[in-house]
Structure 1
Amino acid sequence: MKRFYIIIVALATISFYGCNGEKENHSHHSEDIHNHIHENEESHNHTNESEDAHNHNLAHADEHNHSHADIHEDKDVVVFTHQQSENANLKVKKIEYTPFANVIKCSGDIISSPADAVYIVAPTSGIITFGNPYPVDGSVVNKGDKLFSVSSSNLQDGDIAYRTKIAYEKAKRDYERAEELVKDKIVSEKEFSDIKVEYENAKAAYEAVNGCEGNGSAIIAPTEGYISQIMVNNGDYVSVGQKIAMISKNKKLLLRANIEHEDFAHLPKIKSANFRIPMIDFLYKLEEMNGKVLSYGKYITHGENFIPVTFEFHNNHNLIPGTYADIYILTTTEKDVLAVPEDAICEEQGLYYLFVALDCEHFRKREVSIGESNGDMVQILKGLNSGDLVVTDGVHQLKAASRKSVIPEGHSHSH
Structure 2
Amino acid sequence: MAKMITSTNIPFTAMNKFILFLAVTAVLTSSCNPKEQPQEHGHPHEEPGGLEPLAYTLYSQYCEVFVEFKPLVVGSASKFATHVTVLGEQFSALSQGTVTVSLIMAGKGIRQKADKPSTPGIYRLALTPATAGIGKLVFDIKTKLYTDQLVIDSVQVYPDEKTAIAAQPEEAATGSDISYLKEQAWKVDFANEPARIEPFSDVIYTTGQVQPAPGDEVVVSATLDGIVQLGSRPLASGQAVKSGQTLLSINGKQLTENNLDVQLAKAQTDFERAKAAYERDQQLIAKQLTTGREVEASKAEFENTGKVLSSLSANYKVGGKSIPAPTSGFIRNVLVQSGQYVSQGESLFTITKNQSLVIRADVSQKDAGLVGQLRSASIRIPYNDKTISGEQLGAKILSYGRSADPQTGYLPVMLQVNNASELLPGTFVNVWLKTQPKATALVTRESALIEEQGNFYVYVQTAGESFQKREVKTGKRDGEKVQILSGVRPGERVVTKGGYQIRLSSLSGALPAHGHEH
What is the TM-score when the length of structure 2 is the normalising length?
Answer: 0.61
Q: 2:417 aligns with which of 302, 305, 313?
A: 313
Kindly state the Cα deviation for residue 335 of structure 1 after the two structures are TM-superposed: 2.6
- Tell me which residue corresponds to 1:293: 397
1:263-282 aligned within 5 A: 263-282=367-386
CA distance in 2, matches of 1:149, 1:113: 30
Q: Does residue 1:396 correspond to 2:453, yes or no?
A: no
Distance 1:287 1:91, change over 3 A: closer
**% identity of equivalent residues:** 26
Kindly state the Cα deviation for residue 272 of structure 1 after the two structures are TM-superposed: 0.7
Q: Does residue 1:201 correspond to 2:308, yes or no?
A: no
Q: Which amino acid aligns with 2:304?
A: N
Residue-by-residue CA offset, 1:149-192 (whole Å, 9 max, x unaligned): 2749646xx21544431232113333555677678669968666
- Select the structure that is richer in strand: 2
Q: Is the 8 A contact 2:228 2:341 kept in 1?
A: no
Residue-by-residue CA offset, 1:27-72 (whole Å, 9 max, x unaligned): 234899xx9xxx9x99xx9xxxxxxxxxxxxxxxxxx967x5321x
1:83-162 aligned within 5 A: 83-88=183-188, 90-124=190-224, 126-127=225-226, 129-132=228-231, 133-144=233-244, 145-149=246-250, 151=252, 154=255, 158-159=257-258, 161-162=260-261
Where do 5+ consecutive residues of structure 1 fail to align?
A: 1-7, 46-63, 408-412
Kindly state the Cα deviation for residue 211 of structure 1 after the two structures are TM-superposed: 5.4
Q: Is the 8 A contact 1:113 1:312 kept in 2?
A: yes
1:313-352 aligned within 5 A: 313-317=417-421, 319-352=423-456
Q: Is the 8 A contact 1:353 1:367 kept in 2?
A: yes
Distance 1:265 1:183, change over 3 A: closer
Q: Is the 8 A contact 1:110 1:255 kept in 2?
A: yes
CA distance in 1, matches of 2:203, 2:510: 37
Kindly state the Cα deviation for residue 376 of structure 1 after the two structures are TM-superposed: 1.3
Distance 1:388 1:146, change over 3 A: closer
Distance 1:366 1:281, change over 3 A: same
Moved more, 103-112 or 285-294: 285-294
Kindly state the Cα deviation for residue 378 of structure 1 after the two structures are TM-superposed: 1.3
SS of 1:83 mapped into structure 2: helix
CA distance in 2, matches of 1:86, 1:237: 64
CA distance in 2, matches of 1:306, 1:348: 33
Residue-by-residue CA offset, 1:101-128 (whole Å, 9 max, x unaligned): 222111112111121112223434x355
Kindly state the Cα deviation for residue 230 of structure 1 after the two structures are TM-superposed: 4.4
Q: Which amino acid aligns with 1:118?
A: V
Q: Does residue 1:20 correspond to 2:123, yes or no?
A: no
Q: Is the 8 A contact 1:162 1:212 kept in 2?
A: no
Output the aligned Cα RMSD: 4.0
Q: Is the 8 A contact 1:167 1:202 kept in 2?
A: no
CA distance in 2, matches of 1:315, 1:253: 6
SS of 1:299 mapped into structure 2: coil
Distance 1:116 1:89, change over 3 A: closer
Distance 1:351 1:198, change over 3 A: same
- Tell me which residue corresponds to 2:264: 165
- Tell me which residue corresponds to 2:273: 174
- Tell me which residue corresponds to 1:228: 332
- Tell me which residue corresponds to 1:5: none
Q: Is the 8 A contact 2:375 2:397 kept in 1?
A: yes
Tell me which of the two structures has the higher relative contact order, counting C-alpha pairs closer than 8 angstroms and 6 or more residues apart: 1
Q: Is the 8 A contact 2:68 2:82 kept in 1?
A: no
Q: Does residue 1:78 correspond to 2:182, yes or no?
A: no
Kindly state the Cα deviation for residue 312 of structure 1 after the two structures are TM-superposed: 1.5
Distance 1:206 1:309, change over 3 A: farther
- Tell me which residue corresponds to 1:69: 172
Kindly state the Cα deviation for residue 267 of structure 1 after the two structures are TM-superposed: 0.7
Moved more, 379-388 or 296-305: 296-305
Q: 1:254 aligns with which of 330, 341, 358?
A: 358
